Amino acid sequence: MQLSACFSARVRLWCPLFLAFALALSGLVASPVRAEDGYDLWLRYPPLAEGARRAALPLATRIVVEGEDDSLRVAGEELTRGIGGLLQTTPPVAPQVSAGAIVLGLASSPRIEALDLPLSDLGPEGYLIRSVRMEGQSVTVIAANTGPGVLYGAFEWLRRMQVGEPLTDLDVRSTPALRLRVLNHWDNLNRTVERGYAGQSIWDWHTLPGFTQTRYVDYARANASIGINGAVLNNVNANALSLTGPYIAKAAALADVFRPYGVRVYLSARFSAPVEIGGLPNADPLNPEVAAWWRAKADEIYAAIPDFGGFLVKANSEGQPGPQDYGRTHADGANMLADAVAPHGGVVMWRAFVYSAENTTDRARQAYEEFVPLDGTFRDNVLVQVKNGPIDFQPREPFHPLFGAMPRTPLMMEFQITKEYLGFATHLAYLGTMYEETLQSVTDRPVAGSTVADVVDGSAEGHGLTGMAGVANIGSDRNWSGSHFDQANWYVFGRMAWDPRADAGPIARDWAKRTFTPDPEFAEPVVEMMMGSREAVVDYMTPLGLHHLMATGHHYGPGPWVDDLARPEWNPAYYHRADATGIGFDRTASGSNAVAQYAPTVAARFADPDRIDERDLLWFHHVAWDRPMRSGRTLWDELVVTYGRGVSTVGDMRRTWAGLEAHVDARRFDEVSQFLAIQEQEAKWWRDASVSYFRTFADRRLPAGEPEPEHDLDHYRGLSFPFAPGNTH
Ligand code: BDP
């Protein structure tokens, strides 16, 4: 219907309705129900409860921005937006200081200098928030040495207001423990996303660089709000075209959008690019022509993106090209690229996720064997990027033995945020507990008591170049991450990259309050549900140290029976090794001896079935079905009971969520409810299929009270999902 039609008598009756609808859509009149679709993430600024609002109003009377700086400008904009929503008022942005002003400033600005605040040891990204007297007035100062530092401080001030923490008598200082806090997007140029469950790639390469969506700004805002300062735009299984002129221009357009938010752009580099797009006969890193090609390429990129971060490289892994194609080492390859970016201040993040088709060694051992001998041979601007565990982003893995074993090389942590092996977006699994478990693991290397966090933050080995990468779960879906609760994994990744010693619980609470409501009647049960959620997935998919039992390719659903794939280590049967005597992978001295790659104290614990935490038992041991467990049950009974516990925990999660309807807007409530229902069905599928399969070896009854699987094994083996998402090969 055309608006002009409203003026004709024939449709007069319908017009008031139509106009109201049109006005509501255009935002001119307030809608009685605040529709929520998850787009705002944790940066929602709904009005505070009246008491809190009144108390906060005198603390946000105006915004003073001290200095010309794009990051300061966007910090001011974010405060305006946040205060506008939370306090329902628009504070003026003005240069004069008055009571209740929020003063944003750089250490170098005269007004901030005059306060003589302790800013010098905040580094480039730390911030200070303090309630002070300035020019005779009580104000809140948010100060830092750089614009992004101030922006981080502004977000922290808003966080406090959102969750109801005090805003008076502030004296807050925070500096990031890690230098590189980077998302790895496994996004392809055709907008598919490897292991992505949130729609298409958010990068619309086709319309870049001419068109930059506001979503790119909101992406950068979200990252800045949790301290993420880098984004690798393209898949580690890289296409060389991303290094050609047109794609550099597209990346540059994104870099321009991200810059005020302190987010730098990086690219995954395909090692064979000199051949594919450079016309050279080979990509041998010791060939001077190849090195010159990369230097020229780096110069070209830096001309377009002066603050380009550097390259991420997956080489000689899963069929990707690399220096070993020419008989060279990972260090030869990494150093050649490092020399190309070094004049511009760039870094190379060289992945240690390698395993080879020809190598029959236990896959869990291979990265250590390849990389430890190279310790000390990498250039200063190289980080070796190591996945949290030695296999591949499983629901649970012991920490990677490389942590602590390469003291002369900065090791960067690589976590997965997207949930390839954790049920995709439909399964609610808060990964904060997994990140915490890995980071707080004791390596006892380089010194007794060292933890993974001590290695990653450089303190144990004296490295200044440090970092953490997270494989992003972001896509074109309206809610960014495919599910509302998966936003929490992006959030906790950023927070733990800032502070790898942080605990997962308080971060979950913060997220729940900001994303839904600060009401503890909502937040407390939700936090409890989140905190147990990843363990539930471990229980119903891979209990007691089992791993890599997912179906082939897409990794959707159970496939423990698969044993006919070309490479042994692609087969679940390779990992569980079930037979008539028992189950599990013997990685002790009587087996692959992967355990020897850990510090002797840690190895001794892992190697002893009586001392190891039972959650890791079958990772390291082949165990008899009747072995008594700490519960008093046999291993077989314990296995079945643990699968069942996973399923029943999901049932509890559904009930918890169902009881929270009054606190959540209808759309998000319903979407989460539907996903939890899918999760419960799939948890049961995992349990039933796994129990049906493993009982063919165990040849034992189910423990009393444990239900028979719904179908026979052939049913589960016959299920096929050729179009399950996430697999782009
Ligand atoms: C595995 C994924 C695969 C990735 C690979 C990697 O299945 O798609 O390419 O990791 O990290 O988890 O390179």
Ligand 1, atom nearest to 727 Cα: 8
Residue 653 Rama label (left phi>0; alpha psi -120 to 50; beta): alpha
Measured in angstroms, how far is the CA atom of residue 189 from the centroid of ligand 1? 17
Report whether pLDDT(23) > 80.
Answer: no
Measured in angstroms, how far is the CA atom of residue 545 from the centroid of ligand 1? 21
pLDDT single digits (tens) 318-368: 999 999 999 999 999 999 999 999 999 999 999 999 987 677 899 999 999
pLDDT single digits (tens) 422-468: 999 999 999 999 999 999 999 999 999 999 999 999 999 999 999 99
Q: To 5 degrees, how large is the angle CA 149–CA 341–CA 281? A: 150
Residue 381 near residue 348, CB atoms below 8 Å: yes
Measured in angstroms, how far is the CA atom of residue 350 from the centroid of ligand 1? 15
Report whether pLDDT(295) > 90.
Answer: yes
Residue 232 bridge partners (DSSP):
184, 266
Q: Which residues contact 559 (CB under 8 A, 6 or more apart)?
A: 549, 550, 551, 552, 572
The single residue listed with the structure tokens 């303090």 is 130
- Phi, psi angles (nearest 5°) of residue 400: -70, 130
pLDDT single digits (tens) 521-551: 999 999 999 999 999 999 999 999 999 999 9
Q: Which of 25-34, 162-171, 699-708 has the lowest mean pLDDT?
A: 25-34
Residue with CA nearest ligand 1 atom 12: 392
Helical axes 504-515 vs 487-498, angle rounded to 10° = 130
> Which of 317, 318, 570, 727 best tests ligand 1's pocket when mutated (most atoms within 8 Å of CB)?
318
Residue 705 DSSP label: T
Alpha-carbon distance of 290 to 283, in angstroms, equals 6
Measured in angstroms, how far is the CA atom of residue 273 from the centroid of ligand 1? 20
Measured in angstroms, how far is the CA atom of residue 194 from the centroid of ligand 1? 8
Helical axes 432-439 vs 504-515, angle rounded to 10° = 160
pLDDT at 592: 97
> Which of 186, 316, 412, 565 best tests ligand 1's pocket when mutated (most atoms within 8 Å of CB)?
186
Report whether pLDDT(19) > 70.
Answer: no
Residue with CA nearest ligand 1 atom 11: 353
Residue with CA nearest ligand 1 atom 9: 237
Measured in angstroms, how far is the CA atom of residue 346 from the centroid of ligand 1? 25
- Phi, psi angles (nearest 5°) of residue 39: -60, -35
> Which of 353, 385, 567 best tests ligand 1's pocket when mutated (most atoms within 8 Å of CB)?
353
SS3 category, 381: coil
Ligand 1, atom nearest to 414 Cα: 11
Alpha-carbon distance of 65 to 507, in angstroms, equals 30
Residue 311 near residue 305, CB atoms below 8 Å: no
Question: Can you tell me the mean pLDDT for 119-131?
Answer: 97
Ligand 1, atom nearest to 728 Cα: 8
Alpha-carbon distance of 188 to 257, in angstroms, equals 20
How many residues in the chain?
Answer: 729
Q: Which of 342, 325, 328 is nearest to 286 (CA)?
A: 328
Residue 11 DSSP label: G
pLDDT at 568: 87
Q: Is the peptide bond before 572 cis (omega within 30 degrees of 0)?
A: no
Alpha-carbon distance of 456 to 461, in angstroms, equals 9
Report whether pLDDT(502) > 80.
Answer: yes
Q: pTM for this structure?
A: 0.95
Report whether pLDDT(208) > 50.
Answer: yes
Active site residues: 318, 392, 420
Measured in angstroms, how far is the CA atom of residue 100 from the centroid of ligand 1? 51
Alpha-carbon distance of 204 to 548, in angstroms, equals 33
pLDDT single digits (tens) 571-589: 999 999 999 999 999 999 9
Provide residues with CB under 6 Å of ligand 1. Answer: 194-195, 236-237, 314, 353, 392-393, 420
Q: Which of 3, 38, 1 is nearest to 675 (CA)?
A: 38
The single residue listed with the structure tokens 């022509």 is 289
> Which of 188, 412, 417, 420 best tests ligand 1's pocket when mutated (most atoms within 8 Å of CB)?
420
Number of helices followed by number of strands (H, E) in the chain: 22, 15
Which stretches does DSSP call E strand in 393-466?
A: 411-416
Give the side-chain half-sphere CA count within 13 A for 289: 10
Report whether pLDDT(5) > 60.
Answer: no
Residue with CA nearest ligand 1 atom 2: 195
Domains of the chain, start order? 1-33 (no CATH), 50-174 (3.30.379.10), 180-515 (3.20.20.80), 539-585+622-717 (3.90.1330.10)
pLDDT single digits (tens) 615-652: 999 999 999 999 999 999 999 999 999 999 999 999 99
The single residue listed with the structure tokens 């399923």 is 647
Alpha-carbon distance of 189 to 211, in angstroms, equals 16
Residue 161 near residue 56, CB atoms below 8 Å: yes
Q: What does the block give as tokens for 411?
A: 């090791």
Alpha-carbon distance of 234 to 268, in angstroms, equals 6
Share of the chain above pLDDT 90, in %: 93
SS3 sequence, 654-699?
HHHHHCCHHHCCHHHHHHHHHHHHHHHHHHHHHHHHHHHHHHHHHC
* 348 C-beta neighbours (distance < 10 Å), count: 27
Q: Which amino acid is at 546?
A: L
Ligand 1, atom nearest to 317 Cα: 13
pLDDT at 34: 66
Report whether pLDDT(27) > 50.
Answer: no
Q: Is the peptide bond before 446 cis (omega within 30 degrees of 0)?
A: yes
Question: Can you tell me the mean pLDDT for 118-138?
Answer: 97
Ligand 1, atom nearest to 195 Cα: 8
Measured in angstroms, how far is the CA atom of residue 431 from the centroid of ligand 1? 18
Residue 581 near residue 609, CB atoms below 8 Å: no
Alpha-carbon distance of 84 to 132, in angstroms, equals 23
Alpha-carbon distance of 526 to 160, in angstroms, equals 19
pLDDT at 389: 98
Ligand 1, atom nearest to 314 Cα: 13
Beta pairing, strands 127-134 & 137-144: antiparallel
Alpha-carbon distance of 658 to 653, in angstroms, equals 9
Tell me the average pLDDT of the chain.
Answer: 95
